[in-house]
Structure 1
C-alpha cells in the first residue's frame, strides 16, 4: 500500500520539489559564465568555442525535452528526474577534467544536456497534473526556483573558482547538484489520483467518500487503475484526452509554438550580452554585473506574481501582459544611456520573462489537459525552446557587423511584439475542439 495514501494533500510538496530541482539545474547553468572565463584563461581556449559549446548545450537539452516528457508520462517523474541527476553530474564532471575542447563538448554538449532535459519539463508536467484551479500559483512556485538558483549559485561558483580553481569548483557543484537533485526526485508522484487524492486537494463529495475510502484501504492497486480510467474531478476524461499527436495537428498548438519561439529566440540575449552591453556604455565591471542581478531579481518576482495572477485574470491575458512588458523592456534596454533606465528595463525584462515562462506549462495544460502533459509540454519545449540557443550567437554576429547592440535589442523588441500579436489570436480554452 502506498504510504502517501490518506495523508494531507501532496501537491504542494510536489510544487516545492519542482522549485528545488530548477534551483539546482539553473543554478549550475547560470554559473557557466564564471567557469568560462577561468577555463579560457587557464587553457587558452577561445571564448567563441566555449560559447559554442554552451549554445550546443542549450539546443541539446531543449531538443531532448520531447523525449523526457514522454518518459515522464510513461514511467513517472521520479525515475526520470533521478536519472537526470546522475547524467547532469556526470556531464559536468567530464567538463571538470577536460583536457581538450573535444572533452568540453562531450561533457557539456552531450552528457549534461540529457540531465538538464530531465528537469524543467518533467517537473512542470507533473505539477500541472496536481492542480487545476491553482495551477498558475503552482507553476509559479516551480519556475521561481530557476530564478533563485540564478541569483544564489553564481556567487558561490565565483568564490569556489577563486579559492580552489575552476576544475574543483565545477566538480564540487556537479556532485552537490546531482545528490540534491536525486534526493528531491523522491518527492515526486505522477498525479493525485495515483494516491487517492484530487487536483488542488479537493475532497470527494460526501455521498461517495465512504466508498472511496473503502476502495483505497481494501484494494489500493485496483483503486489506482480505476482512478486513471474514470473521469477526473476537473472534468477531463483520460480516455478522450488530448494526445501529443492530436495537439500537434491543432492550429492552437502552432500559435502557442509561434508565441514562445518568438520570445525564446531572444530570451538569453540579455543574459549572454547584458554585461558586455553595459560595459560598452562605459560602466564599471561591478555596475555592469548588476544588470544580470537585476534580471534575476525581476525574474523571481515575475514568477511568484504572474503565476497566481493568471489563476484569476485568465491565463491568456497574463501571457499578453507579460509579452507586452517584455517588448517595452527591450525598447528600454536599446534606448539606455544611463544606469537608471538600464536597470529598470532589466528588471522589467526579468519580470516579464519570468512571468511568461511560469505561465507557459499552465497555459498548455489549460488547452490540452493533464493526461499527456509531459509529451505535449515536452514537444513545445523541444521545438520552441530550441530557438533560445540561436539568439545569443546571432547577437554576437550582429555586434561584429554593426559595431553596437542597437539592432540586437530592437529586433528583440520586434520579435516579442509579433509574439504578442499571436497571443491575441488564441481562443478560450473551453472553446478548443479536437481537430
Structure 2
C-alpha cells in the first residue's frame, strides 16, 4: 500500500521517519491546486480591465456595452456556486475543477478570435464565467475537508490565489496587449490557463479518507464524526433575519464592489497614464486583497466577525473617497491597496459569518444561495458604471454611488445581533 502512495500519503502526520524529514501531507497539494485554480480563474476574470479600451476601439462600442462582458462573467461565477457545490458533492471536486479550467482556457482563446462584441460576450462571458463558477466552490470546498486544526490558514492560503491572480494577470495582460495585440494576448492567456490550471486541478483529491488519512494528516475519521449534525437547515436559514440582512448587504454592496475591477485601468489611461500603470493599480487591489484575507480575519477573532464585516464595508466606502479625488499614480496606488484590503476582508468574512449564524451542516448550500446576491450586484454594477461614464464622460457618479451602497451595507450589518445572540 505504501508503494502505491508513492508520495508517502499514509505518513501525513509526520509521526514516522523522525530521523529524516517526514513526507509532506497531501492536503498541502490540494491547497496548492486550489490556489492555482483561483489564480487562473479570477486572474483571467480580473484581467478584463486591461482589455476594455482595446475592445472599445476594435468594435466601436461604448464603455457600458464593453463592461457588460465582465458583468456577465461575474454573474455566472458567483451565481453558479449554488449548483456546483452540490454537483461536486455528487461527482467529486476534481472533475468540476478540471471542467472549469477547460472552460476558462477555451473562453479566453475563443475571445481572441471574436469578430463581434456579441462573440466576446459568449466566449469570455460564458467561458470564464462558467469556468470559474464550476471550479471555485468545489476546489476551495475540498480544502475544508483536508484540514481541521489548520483549516483557517489552509483556506486563506488557497483563496489567496485570487489576490495573486489579480496582481499578476492584469500586468501580464497589459504586457501581452502591448507586444502581441489584444487577440494574441487572449490566446496566450488561454494557453497559460490550460497548462497551469488543468495540470494543477488534477492534483485535487476529494476526501482524505481516500488516501487513508484524516484532517491534518491524522487517522481517518469515521463517517459519522464530521460534526456536520449541528446547524440550521437551508429552508429555515434563508427565511431568517441574519440571512436576509446578509443577502441585502451583499446585494447592495456588490453594485459598487466590482466597479474598480473593470474601470480602474481605463480611468488611469483617461488620466494620461500608460496601460501598464493602470494594470499596476489593479494589481495593488490584488495585493491588498491578499493582505485583507489574513489581516481582517485575525482582527475579526478579536473584535467579532460581524463587527469586522461592518468595518470592511465602511472601509471600502472610505477608500473610494480617495479614488474620487485622485488623478495621479501614487494616491491611486494607495486607493488600490487599501480598497483591496477591505475587499479581501469582505470575501473572507461573509462565509465565516454564515458558519457563525447557521452552523456547519448546510453551510455550503447556504453560502451558495447567499452568493447569488453578489452575482446580481456584479451583473448590474460595473455595467451601470460604464453607462454612467458614457453619459457624463466621468467616473464621479459611479464612484459616489459605490460609496453610498457600501455605507448602506455597513449600516445593515450593524443592525444584526451578534451570532451567539441570534442563535439563542
Separation in structure 2 between the aligned mates of residue 284 and residue 278 of structure 1, nearest angstrom: 6
Structure 1 residue 361, shift from structure 2 partner: 2.6
Structure 1 residue 185, shift from structure 2 partner: 2.0
Aligned match of 1:274: 264
Separation in structure 1 between the aligned mates of residue 410 and residue 244 of structure 2, nearest angstrom: 14
Aligned match of 1:15: 31
- 1:364 lines up with 2:366 in the alignment: no
**1:323-362 superposed matches below 5 A:** 323-336=313-326, 341-362=331-352
Separation in structure 2 between the aligned mates of residue 134 and residue 397 of structure 1, nearest angstrom: 45
Unpaired runs of at least 5, structure 2: 14-24
Query: Could you tell me whether the CA contact under 8 Å between 1:139 and 1:362 is conserved in 2?
Result: no
Separation in structure 2 between the aligned mates of residue 91 and residue 78 of structure 1, nearest angstrom: 20
Sort the Cα spacing of 1:82 and 1:400 in 2 relative to 1 into closer, same or farther, 3 A: closer
Query: Could you tell me whether the CA contact under 8 Å between 1:134 and 1:308 is conserved in 2?
Result: no
Q: Cα deviation per residue 1:212-258 (whole Å; 9 max; x = unaligned)? A: x6xx6xxxxxx7xxx33x133xxx343x5444334323322222222
Q: Pick one of 277, 284, 288 that aligns with 2:273.
A: 284
Sort the Cα spacing of 1:40 and 1:341 in 2 relative to 1 into closer, same or farther, 3 A: closer
Aligned residues: 407
Q: Cα deviation per residue 1:134-157 (whole Å; 9 max; x = unaligned)? A: 544333222321121121122322
Aligned match of 1:249: 239
- 1:146 lines up with 2:159 in the alignment: no
Aligned match of 1:231: 225
- Using the size of structure 1 for normalisation, the TM-score is 0.81
Separation in structure 2 between the aligned mates of residue 279 and residue 168 of structure 1, nearest angstrom: 21
Separation in structure 2 between the aligned mates of residue 314 and residue 196 of structure 1, nearest angstrom: 37
Query: Could you tell me whether the CA contact under 8 Å between 2:53 and 2:266 is conserved in 1?
Result: no
Separation in structure 1 between the aligned mates of residue 232 and residue 184 of structure 2, nearest angstrom: 47
Separation in structure 2 between the aligned mates of residue 126 and residue 257 of structure 1, nearest angstrom: 24
Query: Could you tell me whether the CA contact under 8 Å between 2:316 and 2:343 is conserved in 1?
Result: yes
Separation in structure 2 between the aligned mates of residue 194 and residue 423 of structure 1, nearest angstrom: 41
Q: Pick one of 77, 94, 112 that aligns with 2:93.
A: 77
Sort the Cα spacing of 1:142 and 1:359 in 2 relative to 1 into closer, same or farther, 3 A: farther
Aligned match of 1:420: 410
Query: Could you tell me whether the CA contact under 8 Å between 2:63 and 2:390 is conserved in 1?
Result: no
- Using the size of structure 2 for normalisation, the TM-score is 0.83
**1:213-228 superposed matches below 5 A:** 227-228=222-223
Sort the Cα spacing of 1:48 and 1:356 in 2 relative to 1 into closer, same or farther, 3 A: closer
Query: Could you tell me whether the CA contact under 8 Å between 1:263 and 1:415 is conserved in 2?
Result: yes
